[in-house]
Amino acid sequence: MFSWQATFDKQQSALTDFLASHNISAYQIRLDADARRRAARNEQDDANDQSNEQAAVASPASAPAVSASPARATRGRREQRTSSRDEEAHKKEQKAIDKIKASKKFQKRKRGVGDSEDDEDLVDALLKRSAPLPGQMENCEICGTRFTVTPYTRNGPNGGLLCNKCGKELEKDDAAAKKKKKAKRASGGAVGMRRQVQSNILDGTYTLGAKSLMTLCIETLAKNIDLAEDLGDLPASIMDMIARKLSKHRLLDSRTLSLLLQPTAEDVHVYDGAKLSSDDFIRIFRTVPGLKRLKVRNGIHFKDDVLDFLMSRHIELEEFYVHGANLLSESKWKEFLQHKGHSLRSLRVYWTDKHFGDEVLSLLESTCPSLTRLKVCHNQQVTGTGVAAIGNLKSLRHLSLDLRNEVHPDVYVDVLSKIGPSLETLSLTRIRTGDNSILDAIHTHCRSLVKLRITDSEEMTDAGFVRLFKDWANPGLVFLDLQKCRQLDAAHPRNNPDGIGLCSNGFRALIAHSGKTLKFLNVHGCRHIQAAAFEEVFGPEKVYDAMRKLEISFCEEVTDFVAGSIFRSCPNLRELNVFGCMKVKDVRVPRGKILVGVPNAKGMVIEGDDEDDE
Amino acid sequence: MADSKYITLVSRDGFEFVVLREAALVSPTIKGMLRSQFIEARTGRCCFAEIDGVILEKVVDYFHYWYRNRDKEEVPDMEIPVELCLELLMAANYLNLEPATGLRDWT
């Protein structure tokens, strides 16, 4: 079933490949070894012949061709004769070292390794092939005694060989060093593992059982990325996973970027461009001529000259996602839209403070006729004028705004009345002044929403939410985020006489409308949803098959009973977040589900005794 | 043969590996081959003309590693030899051994 011969061949050829990558040829080694063996035999014969004459002189012809060490080995006996040859061999060795040091491969390796100390080691390692073979004689590097080399002979600190005695002593030292290393690792083990599990839970990558083989491979690859010279022709999805992993470890720089750029690709995702220069970004356009979708996060050096270069190319971007590119000027943004806007389907701009403003948004109508997705996140420049201009983008399907300037609700109402019917995504993050008129506009105009996000409103009321969800002609939502829509009053935090924010009735209404379709629901910080509402919604006969993730942190009324009911009513739930739900104490979590943020988790201490509080 | 607890995986260079059927089913590709009336389903032999013996050996290692740990928490990572990493990645892609879809992917 399993042929040993074949395995052996395979291994041999793998070794040959490896050596070839270091400019070492197996054939050459064999020739060298043969020559050495012949030389050793001759030497022995010579010694026998000349033993009577008491003068052991090797014939010059028997001198090994490449190796320097055998010459040194016989130094003791033939000092005078060999001194010139020794010098010659030394020169040769120096030459070989220089050659290795100058080689491209070595430079590449060195970059990954770092100091000069390491490169001495590397040179030694590459020169090691000139050591004598088992069966030959050699002088010990430390004590100078002559001994027979065996397969178990150890290497000395300077690359020579050691006699049995010295080798054993060195081994002792090594063993002691190893023990120290091991002890260090053990202390990080269990804690590191627990920490990793917690980290995975928060990352949302926690699963029971082993990681997928692909994940394992990609992690190994990311760890050893400085050894990689070319990733070959990998599918785009895998490239993307590698890109994510590299960025996560902050390993994306000029060199690793070149590994990720494939000339035939249509997508380039730079998840962390903090270490890239303008030239690196330009290189993306140079190496990937068919680029259609570009994503750049932390693109600090994504500057005017990068866009200039892009405009000089025949690249028609369909999706453009840029994060943190604050050095792009407003005039360049306009120029870019005028030149390349017609092909643009998706434009997402994150974390800009000055140069992406109302004027740029007003240009979109005339320059981007096919724009379906627009996202402006954490922007300090856009005001109501810019938002009003969005209403003219008839092709828009997905709209996300997260602005720092306050915009009057009437502007949003106006936009919704114009483009509301075709919107599939509406995300209005941090609209403190947004009120019920926006909810009513959504109720009246939106008919195809799938994803809705309205957060941080301090004006919307429970009645408003009830009006939105009651008899809404829009099909059930899949994604709903109403976090922090609640009343804020430091003096009377518990009282909410006006029913501000999402409260019990709004919660009931939203579940009645979208409960069957919702996969993701976030009511983080909606403090005034009563326990009765939770218990009713997640009652024994209610089942919500679609629900995958539920975020109910800082909903004060959530108890163990509610959390248990949620697990019962949502059989496909993967994650339940209950940060700050102080009444959740001891819930039985079904296998494979994740409960995050329990206040009495290890590492978090609750003061006082539970019973005394009552 | 079709009902045997074990199946045989054959590499490009002719190595054969006998694997627990349940363990190999982690790969949707193999699962598909063993379903219905494909010849693989009848004979219990799957030939991979693209995968070398060295790589397939690691893949088989992974199948059993996965099977041993299928219900465990805190599973230690399997060692991947660096020099096989890329080829193994290609094989994993071919066998659809992808990470489970994350929570963030709500669509």
| Bridge partners for A524 per DSSP | none
Task: Report how far residue A499's alpha carbon sits from residue A145's, in angstroms, rounded to the nearest whole number.
Answer: 94
Once rounded to an integer, what is the mean pLDDT over residues A254-275? 93
Residues of A with CB under 8 A from a CB of B: 1-3, 6-7, 10, 14, 18, 193-194, 197, 204-205, 207-221, 224, 227-228, 231-232, 234-235, 238, 241, 478-479, 519-520, 548-549, 574-575
Task: Report how far residue B23's alpha carbon sits from residue B32's, in angstroms, rounded to the nearest whole number.
Answer: 14
Highest mean pLDDT, choosing among A52-61, A213-222, A489-498, A516-525? A516-525
Task: Report how far residue B99's alpha carbon sits from residue A33's, in angstroms, rounded to the nearest whole number.
Answer: 49
CB atoms within 10 A of CB A224: 14
Once rounded to an integer, what is the mean pLDDT over residues A420-428? 96
In this structure, is residue A420 part of a structural domain? Answer: no
Mutation target vs B (from A17, A213, A595; most B CBs, 10 A cutoff): A213
3-state helix, strand, coil in chain A (%, to 5): 45, 10, 40
- Give percent of chain A with pLDDT exceeding 90: 54
- Between A266 and A195, the higher pLDDT residue: A266
Once rounded to an integer, what is the mean pLDDT over residues A411-424? 96
Nearest to A213 among B14, B83, B97 (CB): B97
Task: Report how far residue A35's alpha carbon sits from residue A64's, in angstroms, rounded to the nearest whole number.
Answer: 7
Average pLDDT of every residue of chain A: 82
Chain B residues 53-72 with CB within 8 Å of chain A: 53-54, 59, 62, 65-66, 69-72
Q: Which of A488, A398, A412 is nearest to A449 (CA)?
A: A398
Query: What's the gap in Å between the CA of B61 and the closest CA on chain A?
Result: 10
Indicate left, alpha or beta for B57 from its phi (over 0: left) and psi (-120 to 50: alpha).
Answer: alpha
Q: Within an 8 Å CB–CB cutoff, is residue B90 touching chain A?
A: yes
Query: What's the gap in Å between the CA of A221 and the closest CA on chain B?
Result: 6
In this structure, is residue A36 part of a structural domain? Answer: yes
Highest mean pLDDT, choosing among A17-31, A462-476, B1-15? A462-476
pLDDT tops 60 at residue A295: yes
User: Tell me, what's the pLDDT at A5?
Assistant: 46
- The model's pLDDT over A56-98, given as tens digits with 9 standing for 90+, comes to 444 444 444 444 444 444 444 444 555 666 777 777 777 777 7
Q: How far apart are the first and last CA of chain B?
A: 41
Q: Which residues of A touch B100 (CB under 8 A)?
A: 207, 212
Q: Within an 8 Å CB–CB cutoff, is residue B80 touching chain A?
A: yes
Once rounded to an integer, what is the mean pLDDT over residues B14-32? 91
Per DSSP, B77 falls in state: P
User: Tell me, what's the pLDDT at A71?
Assistant: 42
The helix/strand/coil state of B62 is helix
Q: Which residues of A touch B107 (CB under 8 A)?
A: 478
Confidence of residue A55 (pLDDT cuts 50, 70, 90): very low
At residue A346, what is the residue type?
A: S
At residue A69, what is the residue type?
A: S
In this structure, is residue A595 part of a structural domain? Answer: no
- ipTM at complex level: 0.93
Q: What are the structural domains of chain B?
A: 6-94 (3.30.710.10)
- The model's pLDDT over A323-351, given as tens digits with 9 standing for 90+, comes to 999 999 999 999 999 999 999 999 999 99
- For residue A121, the enclosing domain spans 11-133
Once rounded to an integer, what is the mean pLDDT over residues A107-118? 52
Helices (H), A429-559: 436-445, 462-469, 504-514, 531-537
Chain B residues 19-48 with CB within 8 Å of chain A: none
- The model's pLDDT over A204-252, given as tens digits with 9 standing for 90+, comes to 667 778 888 999 999 999 999 988 888 888 888 899 999 999 999 999 9
Q: How far apart are the first and last CA of chain A?
A: 71
Type and span of the H or E element at A336: helix A330-340
CB atoms within 10 A of CB A607: 4
Nearest to A2 among B15, B80, B95 (CB): B15
In this structure, is residue A124 part of a structural domain? Answer: yes
Task: Report how far residue A315's alpha carbon sits from residue B83's, in angstroms, rounded to the nearest whole number.
Answer: 36
Domains contained in chain A, number: 1
Confidence of residue A613 (pLDDT cuts 50, 70, 90): very low
| Helix-then-strand count for chain A, H and E | 22, 15
Joined together, the tokens standing for residue B78 give 């399997």
Q: Within an 8 Å CB–CB cutoff, is residue B73 touching chain A?
A: yes
Q: Within an 8 Å CB–CB cutoff, is residue B82 touching chain A?
A: yes
In this structure, is residue A21 part of a structural domain? Answer: yes
- Cβ of A212 within 8 Å of Cβ of B98? The answer is yes
Inter-residue long-range contacts of A312-316, CB under 8 Å, 24+ positions, other chains counted: A313/A285, A313/A289, A314/A289, A315/A285, A315/A289, A315/A290, A315/A291, A315/A340, A316/A292, A316/A340, A316/A343
